[in-house]
C-alpha cells in the first residue's frame, strides 16, 4: 500500500510531527557523533518538510538556515538546532515564547515566531496562526510575514503568526493539517495547483473533498474551507470589483472583504476581533466579574461567598479543597450581572446564541441536569398524548420515561443484535421505513410525530443521518427527528464525522432543498416509481423526498460533559426546525417542567467555556482523540502477547456486511486505505466511531464488570460501559499518548499474570480457564426483541402497527391492588408462560448492562424475555426486586386498564 494512502496518514499527520522531528534529531545526533551520515539527516528532513510549510514554526527562515548548516557540514550545530526545534514542537513552547527571553542559540531556533512587541506582557496570550493565500511570488513571503508581525500591539489580546501558501490546493491542505490555523486571508489571483508534487497531500484532498474542479476563485476556496472547518474566520482581499464580490451569495461565508492590502491594519484588527468573537464567553465572563464584587447575600444558598464554609471549624476542608472562587461564584441570584436560565434575556441568552452558531443550530438550550433531562424536554415539547413516536427500543431510559410523561405511544423499532457481545447495533433504515409504510397503509401517518434515535450508540454506531432523514421525509414530509447525540457532541468538530451528525446532515439537507436540481431529481424518481409502487420497491429504493413539501425539523441533544470540557450534567438541546415558532411556547413549558429553578452557575459557565474551546481548538483536539483511538486499536490488536487475550472489535465485528455497502471492513484490515475510510464515512448505512473501542475481555476469562473493576481498583483506569464479555474504552479530547502507553503496560501486566497462572496451575487451571472463556464468549443469552403491548393498552392502535398506551400501564402500577409479583425462577412463571393468562409488566425493567429496558409497562412477557432475565448475571437491575419477583399487572385489572385507555 502506498504510504500516502495509509489510513492513519491524515489523523496522525499532525500528532506525528513531534515524532518525526525526533527522528531527524536521532539522525542529526548520530551524524554529530560520527556514527551517522548527512544523507540520513537530509532524508529524514525531506519527509517532514512538506507538512512543515503549513505551520508557522519553525518557519521558512529557520528551515533555510538549518539546510545551510547541513550543507556546510556543521553537524554539531545542526544537532543543537534540531533539538531545540523538536523540543519546541513537542512542548508547544514556541507558542509561548516572548521576545528577549531566549538567549544565545535560541536566536537560531525561534526567530521566525517571536512576537516582536510582546515583551513584558504575560506569557499566556493565546497564540494562533493565520493562513494567508497569496498570488505573490514566494520570494516575497518572508517580508510579508514581517509586515504582519509589525502590526502587533501591546494591547492585542491574542498573538498570531502568518502561514503563507501560494495555491488553492495548498490552502486546503494547510487548513486540514494545521489545527492552529484559526483565520484565513484569501488574496485573489492565486493559481489552483500546488507547486509541490506531493502525492500524500493530493491523496488527502481528493479523498476528503472529492475531485476538485480547478479553480482560482477566492469565494470557491472560501466555501470549501468553511465546509471543512466552519468555525474559521475568512477574509478576502481583492484589487478588482469589490462590490460585485461582496454582492455574490457565495460571499455569505466570508467575514469581511477588503479592497487591496492598503487596509492591512484593519485586517489585523478584524482578525483579532474574529478570534475575540469566539473567545468571548458571555456568561462565564460575567460570573467571574460577579465573583469579584463585594456582594452581600440575603437569599438562600448560605454557601455563596463561602463564609459558612471558611468560618467553620468543621467543614473548612471543603472550602480548601474547592478553592474560594467556587463559593464566590455561587449564587441563587438571576440579576446583578447574572441571568435566568429559565427565561434568559442577558448573558445566558447570548451564550446560547453563540453555542447555536458554533454547533450549526438555529437555537440552543443549555440544560444543567444532563441529557436525561434534555431528552425529556424535547419529547414533552413535541409529543402530545396519543401521538405516535417511532423509537429505538434500546435508547436511553429518558426517552421511554419522556413518553410515559407525555402519553406518546411508542412504536419500538429494533436495532440489529450483536448477540455474541450481548449488545445491540443500530436500527436499520429498512425497519424504520417499514414502520412508516405500515402506518401509511393504515392511514395513520398523521398520528406519527417523531422519529427518535441514538446517534452514535453507546458502542459507536453512527447513522447515515442524512439518508435516514431523506428517506423518512419521502414518506412523511413533516416528520420531526430527535437525534440523541449524548456521546457524539464532539463529532461536530471533525469534517469526517460531522456529516453523520444531526446538525451536519440538516445543513446538507437545507442546501439540497434550496437547489432546483433537487425537484428535478424527485420528479424523475416519481416517474420511475410509477403511480403505485409496491412496498418492496419502496423499501429497496433510496427514496428522494419532495423538496417543496419537506418541513425540516431536526432536534439534537448532547451530553456536552461526555465529550467536551463541560462539568458533569452539562448538556445542550440543539434546534433546527423551520416550524419552531409553532412549538416555541410548548418548548418553554417543557423547560419549565424539567429545569431546576436553582440551576448551577458553574454548570452554565462550563457549557459556555466548552463551546469556546471547541470553536478555538476543537478541530485539533478531536483529530487527536481519533488518532489516539487508532493507535490503541493498532497496538492492542497487533501486540503478540496482548492480542492472545484481548481484542478491540473492528467495524466488521460490530456492523454486518449488509450495512457497510462501501465494502469497508475496518481501520486495521490489511490493505485498508484512507480513501476506503472516507468512502465508508460518506456512504455506509452505519459507520463505527473510531473513538469508541469495544475491548473484548472474555477471552482473558473476565466478564465486563469484573474487568472494569480490575482496571479501576488496581490500575486507576476508568472505562465506560461493560457487556458480558467486553468493556468499552473511549478516547476523548483529554487523552494523551501517555494514556495509551499506560493502558498497554497494564494489559501486558494482566496478560503476564494470566500466562503465569496457566503455567503454574497446571492442567486443571487450564481447564477452568477454558471453561470460563467458553462460557463468557459462547454461552451468551439471545437478546429478546420487544414482544408486544397487551391488547388492554392498544385500544386506539392500528391493526398492523404495534404502538401502545404505555402511560396508562405505567400508572396502573401505582395501584398495588392491581399488581402482583411473580418470582422470576419459580414454577408459576413457567406455568403462566405456557398456558396463560398473559404476564404483563407493570414496570420498566432495565438491567445494567446492557442498560436498555427488557420490559416496559404494558408489555406482554414472552419465554425469550424471561429466558434472558434468567441468564443475566448482573447485580444492578432497575425496576426488579429479586426477593419479590417481577411486578406484573394482574389479569383481572387489565380490563380496568382497557377502560382507562378508552376513557383517555
Ligand atoms: C444515549 C444516551 N442518552 C442520554 C444519556 C443521559 O445523559 P446524561 O448522563 O447527560 O444525563 C445517556 C447516558 O449514558 C446515554 O447513553
- How confident is the model over 735-761, as pLDDT tens digits? 888 889 999 999 999 999 999 999 999
d(CA 867, CA 886): 13
Query: What's the pLDDT at 377?
Result: 98
| Banded model confidence at residue 118, pLDDT cuts 50, 70, 90 | very low
Query: What's the pLDDT at 9?
Result: 56
d(CA 1, CA 234): 37
Closest by CA to 139, choosing from 70, 69, 64, is 64
Sequence-ordered list of residues with C-beta below 8 angstroms from that of 753, at least 6 positions apart, any chain: none
- CA angle, residues 677, 641, 727, in degrees to nearest 5: 60
Span of 100-104, 253-257, 577-581, 849-853 with lowest mean pLDDT? 100-104
- How confident is the model over 205-228, as pLDDT tens digits? 777 777 777 888 899 999 999 999
What percent of the chain is helix, strand and coil (3-state, nearest 5)? 50, 15, 35
| Banded model confidence at residue 2, pLDDT cuts 50, 70, 90 | very low
Atom in ligand 1 nearest the alpha carbon of residue 571: 10
Q: What is the mean pLDDT of residues 119-135?
A: 79
Query: What's the pLDDT at 264?
Result: 84
| Banded model confidence at residue 709, pLDDT cuts 50, 70, 90 | very high
Percentage of the chain surpassing pLDDT 90?
72
**What's the DSSP call for residue 261?**
S
| Ligand 1 mean position, distance from CA 388 (Å) | 23
Distances (CA, A) of 324 to 285, 298, 312, 598, 632: 17, 19, 14, 21, 40
Query: Does 401 contact ligand 1 (Cβ within 6 A)?
Result: no
Query: Does 486 contact ligand 1 (Cβ within 6 A)?
Result: yes
Of residues 264 and 487, more confidently modeled: 487
Query: What's the pLDDT at 646?
Result: 98
Query: Does 452 contact ligand 1 (Cβ within 6 A)?
Result: no
**Residue 433: CB atoms within 10 Å:** 21
Q: Where are the beta strands (DSSP E) in 804-857?
A: 819-822, 846-848
User: What H or E segment, with its residue span, contains residue 183?
Assistant: strand 181-187
d(CA 188, CA 206): 23
Residue 231 has pLDDT above 70, yes or no: yes
Ligand 1 binding pocket mutation candidate from 490, 559, 603, 719 (most atoms within 8 A of CB)? 559
DSSP string, 613-625: HHHHHHHHHHHHH
| Ligand 1 mean position, distance from CA 487 (Å) | 7
d(CA 421, CA 778): 9
**pLDDT mean across residues, the chain:** 90
Check if the beta carbon of residue 450 is closer than 8 Å to that of residue 390. Answer: yes
Q: What is the 3-state secondary structure (H, E, C) of 40-79?
A: HHHHHHHHHHHHHCCCCCCHHHHHHHHHHHHHCCCHHHHH
CA dihedral 684, 686, 687, 689 (to 10 degrees): 160
- How confident is the model over 546-581, as pLDDT tens digits? 999 999 999 999 999 999 999 999 999 999 999 999
| Ligand 1 mean position, distance from CA 355 (Å) | 20
d(CA 247, CA 493): 30
- How confident is the model over 725-741, as pLDDT tens digits? 999 999 999 988 888 99
Whether residue 834 has a cis bond before it, omega within 30° of 0: no
Closest by CA to 420, choosing from 737, 654, 631, 663, is 654
Query: Does 485 contact ligand 1 (Cβ within 6 A)?
Result: no
d(CA 661, CA 710): 39
User: What H or E segment, with its residue span, contains residue 573?
Assistant: strand 571-577
Q: What is the mean pLDDT of residues 306-335?
A: 90
Percentage of the chain surpassing pLDDT 70?
93
**Residue 249: CB atoms within 10 Å:** 7
| Banded model confidence at residue 103, pLDDT cuts 50, 70, 90 | very low
Ligand 1 binding pocket mutation candidate from 398, 457, 849 (most atoms within 8 A of CB)? 398
| Ligand 1 mean position, distance from CA 483 (Å) | 12
Residue 241 in grid coordinates: 470589483
Query: What's the pLDDT at 591?
Result: 95
d(CA 675, CA 683): 12
Whether residue 524 has a cis bond before it, omega within 30° of 0: no
- How confident is the model over 145-183, as pLDDT tens digits? 888 888 988 889 999 999 999 999 899 989 988 999 999
Sign of CA dihedral 304, 309, 315, 321: positive
Query: What's the pLDDT at 396?
Result: 95
Query: Does 400 contact ligand 1 (Cβ within 6 A)?
Result: no
pTM of the model: 0.94
d(CA 777, CA 857): 32
Residue 649 in grid coordinates: 472489535
Greatest mean pLDDT among 189-203, 213-227, 422-436, 778-792: 422-436
| Banded model confidence at residue 10, pLDDT cuts 50, 70, 90 | low
Distances (CA, A) of 488 to 35, 222, 558, 730, 880: 50, 27, 7, 11, 31
Residue pointed to by grid coordinates 478576502: 236
Query: Does 396 contact ligand 1 (Cβ within 6 A)?
Result: yes
Q: Strand, coil or helix: what is 867? A: helix
Check if the beta carbon of residue 555 is closer than 8 Å to that of residue 481. Answer: yes
Residue 238 has pLDDT above 70, yes or no: yes
Bridge partners of residue 448, in order along the sequence: 388
Query: What's the pLDDT at 768?
Result: 96
Query: Does 563 contact ligand 1 (Cβ within 6 A)?
Result: no
Ligand 1 binding pocket mutation candidate from 375, 395, 396, 453 (most atoms within 8 A of CB)? 396
Ligand 1 binding pocket mutation candidate from 393, 486, 568, 851 (most atoms within 8 A of CB)? 486
Number of H helices, E strands in the chain: 36, 25
Check if the beta carbon of residue 572 is closer than 8 Å to that of residue 557. Answer: yes
Query: Does 398 contact ligand 1 (Cβ within 6 A)?
Result: yes
- How confident is the model over 280-295, as pLDDT tens digits? 999 999 999 988 887 7
| Ligand 1 mean position, distance from CA 399 (Å) | 10
| Banded model confidence at residue 781, pLDDT cuts 50, 70, 90 | confident
Query: What's the pLDDT at 308?
Result: 92
Q: Where are the beta strands (DSSP E) in 799-882?
A: 819-822, 846-848, 859-860, 876-878
d(CA 752, CA 761): 14
Q: What is the 3-state secondary structure (H, E, C) of 370-430?
A: HHHHHHHHHHHHHCCCCCEEEEECCCCHHHHHHHHHHCCEEEEECCCEEHHHCEECCCCHH
Check if the beta carbon of residue 45 is closer than 8 Å to that of residue 24. Answer: yes
Query: Does 556 contact ligand 1 (Cβ within 6 A)?
Result: no
| Ligand 1 mean position, distance from CA 371 (Å) | 5
Amino acid at each position: 500500500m502506498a504510504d500516502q494512502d495509509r489510513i492513519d496518514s491524515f489523523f496522525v499527520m499532525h500528532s506525528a510531527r513531534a515524532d518525526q522531528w525526533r527522528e531527524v534529531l536521532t539522525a542529526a545526533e548520530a551524524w554529530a557523533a560520527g556514527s551517522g551520515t548527512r544523507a540520513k539527516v537530509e532524508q529524514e528532513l525531506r519527509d517532514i518538510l512538506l507538512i512543515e510549510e503549513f505551520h508557522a514554526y519553525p518557519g521558512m527562515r529557520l528551515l533555510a538556515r538549518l539546510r545551510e548548516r547541513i550543507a556546510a557540514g556543521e553537524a554539531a550545530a545542526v544537532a543543537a538546532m534540531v533539538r531545540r526545534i523538536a523540543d519546541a514542537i513537542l512542548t508547544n513552547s514556541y507558542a509561548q515564547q516572548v521576545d528577549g527571553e531566549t538567549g544565545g542559540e535560541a536566536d537560531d531556533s525561534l526567530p521566525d515566531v517571536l512576537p516582536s512587541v510582546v515583551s513584558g506582557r504575560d506569557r499566556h496570550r493565546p497564540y494562533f496562526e493565520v493562513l494567508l493565500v497569496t498570488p505573490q511570488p514566494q520570494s516575497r513571503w518572508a517580508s510579508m510575514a514581517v509586515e504582519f508581525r509589525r502590526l502587533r500591539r501591546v494591547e492585542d489580546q491574542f498573538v498570531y503568526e502568518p502561514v503563507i501558501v501560494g495555491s488553492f490546493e495548498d490552502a486546503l491542505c494547510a487548513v486540514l493539517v494545521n489545527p492552529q490555523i484559526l483565520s484565513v486571508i484569501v488574496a485573489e489571483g492565486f493559481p489552483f495547483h500546488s507547486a509541490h508534487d506531493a502525492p500524500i497531500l493530493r491523496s488527502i484532498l481528493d479523498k476528503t473533498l472529492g475531485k476538485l474542479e480547478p479553480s482560482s476563485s477566492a469565494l470557491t476556496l472560501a466555501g470549501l474551507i468553511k465546509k471543512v472547518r466552519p468555525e474559521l474566520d475568512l477574509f478576502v482581499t481583492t484589487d478588482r470589483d469589490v462590490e460585485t464580490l461582496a454582492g455574490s451569495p457565495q460571499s455569505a461565508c466570508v467575514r469581511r472583504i477588503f479592497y487591496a492590502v492598503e487596509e492591512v491594519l484593519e485586517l489585523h484588527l478584524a482578525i483579532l476581533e474574529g478570534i475575540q468573537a469566539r473567545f468571548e464567553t458571555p456568561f462565564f465572563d460575567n460570573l467571574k466579574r460577579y465573583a469579584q464584587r463585594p456582594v452581600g447575600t440575603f437569599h438562600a444558598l448560605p454557601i455563596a461567598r463561602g463564609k459558612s464554609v471558611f468560618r467553620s471549624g468543621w467543614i473548612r476542608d471543603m472550602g480548601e479543597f474547592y478553592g474560594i472562587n467556587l463559593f464566590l461564584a455561587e449564587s441563587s441570584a438571576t440579576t446583578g450581572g447574572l441571568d435566568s436560565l429559565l427565561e434568559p434575556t442577558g448573558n445566558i441568552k447570548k451564550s446560547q446564541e453563540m453555542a447555536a452558531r458554533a454547533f450549526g443550530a438555529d437555537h440552543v438550550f443549555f440544560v444543567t441536569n444532563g441529557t436525561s433531562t434534555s431528552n425529556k424536554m424535547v419529547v414533552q415539547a413535541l409529543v402530545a398524548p396519543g401521538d405516535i413516536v417511532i423509537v429505538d427500543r434500546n435508547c436511553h431510559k429518558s426517552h421511554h420515561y419522556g413518553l410515559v410523561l407525555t402519553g406518546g405511544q411508542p412504536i419500538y423499532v429494533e436495532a440489529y443484535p450483536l448477540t455474541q457481545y450481548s449488545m445491540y447495533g443500530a436500527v436499520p433504515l429498512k425497519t424504520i421505513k417499514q414502520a412508516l409504510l405500515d402506518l401509511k397503509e393504515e392511514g395513520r401517518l398523521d398520528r406519527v410525530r417523531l422519529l427518535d434515535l441514538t446517534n452514535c450508540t453507546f458502542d459507536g454506531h453512527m447513522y447515515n443521518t442524512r439518508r435516514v432523514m431523506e428517506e423518512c421525509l419521502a414518506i412523511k414530509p413533516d416528520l420531526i427527528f430527535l437525534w440523541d447525540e449524548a456521546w457524539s457532541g464532539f463529532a461536530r468538530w471533525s469534517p469526517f464525522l460531522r456529516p453523520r451528525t444531526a446538525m451536519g446532515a440538516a445543513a446538507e439537507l437545507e442546501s439540497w432543498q434550496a437547489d432546483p436540481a433537487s425537484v428535478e431529481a424527485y420528479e424523475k424518481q416519481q416517474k420511475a416509481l410509477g403511480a403505485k409502487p409496491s412496498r418492496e420497491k419502496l423499501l429497496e429504493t433510496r427514496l428522494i423526498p419532495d423538496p417543496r413539501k419537506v418541513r425540516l425539523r431536526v432536534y439534537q441533544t448532547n451530553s456536552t460533559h461526555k465529550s467536551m470540557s463541560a462539568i458533569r450534567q452539562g448538556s445542550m438541546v440543539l434546534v433546527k426546525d423551520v416550524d419552531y415558532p409553532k412549538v416555541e411556547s410548548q418548548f418553554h413549558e417543557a423547560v419549565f417542567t424539567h429545569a431546576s429553578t436553582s440551576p448551577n452557575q458553574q454548570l452554565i459557565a462550563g457549557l459556555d467555556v466548552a463551546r469556546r474551546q471547541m470553536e478555538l481548538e476543537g478541530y485539533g483536539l478531536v483529530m487527536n482523540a481519533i488518532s489516539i483511538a487508532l493507535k490503541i486499536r493498532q497496538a492492542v490488536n497487533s501486540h503478540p502477547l496482548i492480542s492472545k487475550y484481548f481484542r478491540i472489535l473492528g467495524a466488521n465485528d460490530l456492523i454486518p456486511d449488509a450495512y457497510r455497502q462501501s465494502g469497508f471492513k475496518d481501520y486495521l484490515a490489511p490493505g485498508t486505505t484512507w480513501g476506503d475510510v472516507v468512502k465508508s464515512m460518506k456512504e455506509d448505512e452505519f459507520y463505527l466511531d473510531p473513538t469508541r473501542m469495544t475491548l473484548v475481555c472474555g477471552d482473558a476469562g473476565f466478564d465486563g464488570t469484573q474487568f472494569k473493576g480490575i482496571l479501576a481498583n488496581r490500575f486507576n483506569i476508568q472505562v465506560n460501559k461493560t457487556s458480558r464479555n467486553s468493556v468499552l474504552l473511549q478516547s476523548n479530547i483529554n487523552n494523551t499518548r501517555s494514556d495509551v502507553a499506560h493502558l498497554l503496560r497494564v494489559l501486558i501486566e494482566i496478560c503476564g499474570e494470566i500466562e503465569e497462572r496457566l503455567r503454574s496451575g497446571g492442567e486443571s487451571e487450564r481447564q477452568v480457564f477454558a471453561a470460563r472463556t467458553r462460557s463468557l464468549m459462547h454461552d451468551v443469552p439471545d437478546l429478546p426483541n420487544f414482544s408486544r403491548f397487551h391488547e388492554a393498552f392498544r385500544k386506539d392502535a392500528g391493526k398492523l402497527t404495534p404502538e401502545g398506551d404505555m402511560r396508562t400501564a405505567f400508572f396502573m402500577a401505582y395501584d398495588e391492588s392491581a399488581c402482583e409479583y411473580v418470582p422470576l425462577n419459580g414454577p408459576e412463571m413457567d406455568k403462566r408462560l405456557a398456558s396463560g393468562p398473559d404476564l404483563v409488566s407493570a414496570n420498566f425493567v432495565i438491567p445494567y448492562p446492557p442498560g436498555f429496558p427488557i420490559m416496559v409497562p404494558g408489555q406482554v412477557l414472552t419465554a425469550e424475555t424471561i429466558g434472558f432475565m434468567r441468564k443475566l448475571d448482573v447485580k444492578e437491575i432497575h425496576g426488579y426486586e429479586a426477593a419479590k419477583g417481577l411486578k406484573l399487572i394482574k389479569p383481572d385489572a387489565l380490563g380496568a386498564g382497557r377502560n382507562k385507555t378508552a376513557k383517555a
